[in-house]
Chain A
Amino acid sequence: MTLNMGPQHPSTHGVLRFVIKADGEVMREAIPDVGYLHRSIEKIAEKVGYHGFMPYTDRVDYVCAMFTNQGWAMACEKLAAIEVPRRGEYCRLIAAEFNRLASHLLTVGLMGMDIGAMTPFLHALREREMINDLIEELCGARLTFNYMRIGGVAWDLPPGWREKALAYLDHLDPILDEFNALFSYNKICVQRLANVAAISAKEAIDYNLVGPNLRASGVKWDVRKDIPYSVYSDFDFEIPIGSGEWGTIGDAMDRYMMRIREMVQSSRILRQALTRMPEGPVLAKVVRNFRPPAGECQIRVESARGDQGWYVVSDGSSYPWRVRVRTGSFAAMGIIQKLSKGLMIADLVVLIASLDVIAPEIDR
């Protein structure tokens, strides 16, 4: 029987469509159909110029916009050999890690909602709202931040923000424990998620998975540690790896728990960063009519969804020649068709939620 899980659906993360070929409950194949959210953002870059493209990068992945901002800024800085002041790098890191927290909160909440528990979703969103309030004080917006600029960040930390941020981190730790007690360790959740769609390490690398999806399969790869950028090498944090303690290595439970553990590590990084921020400017001197020399550059940023690649080609004018973003969600869509054989329809929802697929990132 051929079913259509259409673009309008309560549980696909964005506008996605699947054509499901099923034998009763068990699927033979689920063919994803992407492209519903394509907005030609990469082409728009060629029209608006380097500075003007920064707000558009927010829309590439609106759930974790700081990372796309950072990727674009770093690419332009590499093209023009601009050095970001140290305090600017710290501001970037703090904003990025808060955004990682917010994005992972949304993901674990959505996993709850997709398997039927509405309460964890709302609890996670409540915490995310508090982070949004913090970031709103920092840069004026709650979702599409446009916080970073080529050469640094646009605003310094407002007075009193550091104390508020540290107080929030203290508040978040018991909330994460409570969330785990309510949802993650619940027997029904474990039964729904464990041993579902296990991805082996070789498969994960073959299919180009990145980020928590890759690490859940046991591959220790994190751009922050392996190709350190910004000031990440100054900080002491761990990279959680999937160990299959709930089922098999690389199953949906591992991918889900990666995000919970990464939240704990982000909190750790944030505490270190907030307590030892250096003084200084946050923005380097960059001309208004930014015109990097001709050339190309490639940048990798560890976003909440994984290794995000930016490839920018400049021809020396004030408009880029080509911008290309490579996001983790696009690769994750490719593995869904292969994994769906033998899964039940209810497991397809779990699979999509555990891969943390966000539609705007797939189609840009």
Chain B
Amino acid sequence: MGAAVYFQHIKEALATIFDGMAVTASHMIRKPYTIQYPDRIPVRVQDTLPFRYRGILDVDLEICTGCLACDRACPIDCIAMAIEKNAQTREIIISQFDIDIAKCMYCGLCSEPCPTGAIHHTTEFEGADYSLESLIRRFIAEPVVAYKPKKGPEPEPDLARLLERGMKYVDEWAQPGADKAPASAAKPAPAPKPATPARTPATTRTPAKPAAVAAAKATDPAPVTEKREVAENTADAASAETAINSPAVGERNASNAPPSAAKEDAGKNGEESNEGTAPSGPKNSPS
């Protein structure tokens, strides 16, 4: 090590340590970035959280339509619901609505398909308790009749208030639509770079892929219109952008077929497409 390098090391050490200490000194005179939760804060933290915050789930049972969309959507099976359809009055009776918040992973997939916003995330996050039993929130004490959405605005003021809050929550979610511009620079999805060359076992399957894709395209329109359970704006795509102004509940639910009918459709289509495409599945296992 030459003399120049030696003294350069010393100079660098002193200069960088000087700089570093200046930075820390500047932090000593600034205000600390600490929220002294829970007692030394001006407002409750729950009130400062954004509206979309995914805290502990809550259900407004008065506006629950009993459609079971949340039960189906939950990926971890933390919602347990039981409904019956009264044959004479054609009313839906909900006899059980339990949410196990210990299991819940706060993903929001249940509140997305809810037509009225009955099930929603609150800004509560303090749910710690002493017993595991108390973490199963049971919302039904005795069987209740499900809410039937009206065609126009809701007449009853209490329900209208709940509905307004629920729809406000639901409207935060993105409204599906498609790009208007035909010459958009968005890449066409089925034009990928081919898989890495080392994957030779896949060659046996590549002839099947275009056929499968074509078959899917052929059957695509049918499932899309029949199996739609998500409440969507059924107007054409051009008005999808104006979906921020939420239509009344009645319009939203126009396409919300009763759950049993949708299930039947799903079952039929399931059988069809399973027959058509099942053979390619088991062949995958060796690779």
Contacts and interface: CB of A to CB of B under 8 A. Distances in A.
Q: Is A in direct contact with B (CB under 8 Å) within the complex? A: yes
Interface of A: 48-49, 51-56, 58, 77-78, 80-86, 88-89, 119, 123, 126, 129, 136-141, 144, 146, 149, 151-156, 158, 178, 181-183, 185-188, 227, 229, 231, 234, 279-289, 291-299, 313, 315-318, 321-322
- Top 8 nearest A-B pairs (CB, nearest first) are A315-B281, A293-B216, A316-B277, A281-B177, A52-B75, A55-B107, A294-B277, A140-B54
Interface in B193-238: 193, 195-196, 202, 205, 208-209, 212-213, 215-217, 223-224, 227-230, 232
Given A178-B23, A234-B185, A281 B174 contact: yes
A139 B185 CA distance: 27
A318 B281 CA distance: 12
A186 B223 contact: no
A295 B13 contact: no
Nearest to A300: B193
Interface in B14-62: 16-17, 19-20, 22-24, 27, 33, 49-50, 52-54
A183 B21 CA distance: 10
Contacts of A183: 20
B284 A313 contact: yes
A144 B105 contact: yes
A281 B224 contact: no
Contact of A89 (B186, B208, B284): B186
B153 interface: no
Nearest to A56: B75
Given A86-B184, A281-B179, A187 B13 contact: yes
B172 A155 contact: yes
Contact of B177 (A283, A313, A318): A283
Contacts of A234: 185
Given A84-B186, A153-B174, A281-B178, A186 B108 contact: no
Contacts of A294: 208, 212, 277-278, 280-281
A146 B110 CA distance: 12
Given A55-B75, A186-B16, A293 B52 contact: no
Given A315-B277, A316-B273, 9 more contacts: A144-B107, A151-B176, A154-B174, A155-B173, A227-B193, A280-B177, A294-B281, A295-B208, A317-B273
A140 B50 contact: yes
13 contacts: A51-B109, A89-B186, A119-B24, A141-B54, A149-B174, A279-B241, A288-B113, A289-B227, A294-B212, A297-B192, A315-B278, A315-B284, A317-B270
Nearest to A298: B195
B270 A53 contact: no
A285 B52 contact: no
A88 B274 CA distance: 31
A234 B270 CA distance: 40
What band does the interface of chain B fall in when counting residues whose beta carbon is under 8 Å from A? Answer: 35 or more
B240 interface: yes
Contacts of A53: 75
Given A140-B108, A295-B280, A316-B278, A85 B20 contact: no
A313 to B, nearest CB: 5
B112 interface: yes
A301 B35 CA distance: 36
A272 to B, nearest CB: 15
Contacts of B113: 288
A288 B281 contact: no
Give the one of B16, B174, B179, B187 with max A CB within 10 A: B174
Nearest to A161: B50
Interface string B255-287: 000000000001000100110111011001000
Contacts of B186: 83-86, 89, 231
A298 B197 CA distance: 13
B139 interface: no
Contacts of B12: 187
B205 A288 contact: no
Contacts of B174: 88, 149, 152-156, 281-283
Contact of A155 (B33, B52, B76): B52
B129 to A, nearest CB: 22
Nearest to A129: B33
A62 to B, nearest CB: 12
A293 B212 contact: yes
B208 A316 contact: no
Contact of A182 (B23, B106, B190, B274): B23
A294 B210 CA distance: 10
Nearest to B72: A288
Contacts of B49: 136
B180 interface: yes
Contact of B176 (A81, A286, A292, A318): A286
Contact of B108 (A146, A185, A296, A318): A146
A291 B9 contact: no
Given A137-B50, A295-B213, A78 B190 contact: yes
B224 A285 contact: yes
Contact of A285 (B13, B121, B177, B192): B177
Nearest to A181: B19
Contacts of B192: 78, 297-299
Contacts of A282: 174
Contacts of B180: 280
Given A280-B177, A283-B177, A316-B278, A54 B107 contact: yes
Nearest to A53: B75
Contact of B281 (A48, A54, A129, A316): A316
Given A80-B216, A154-B174, A185-B19, A293 B277 contact: yes
Contacts of B105: 55, 144
Most chain B CB neighbours (cut-off 10 Å) among A49, A152, A187, A282: A187
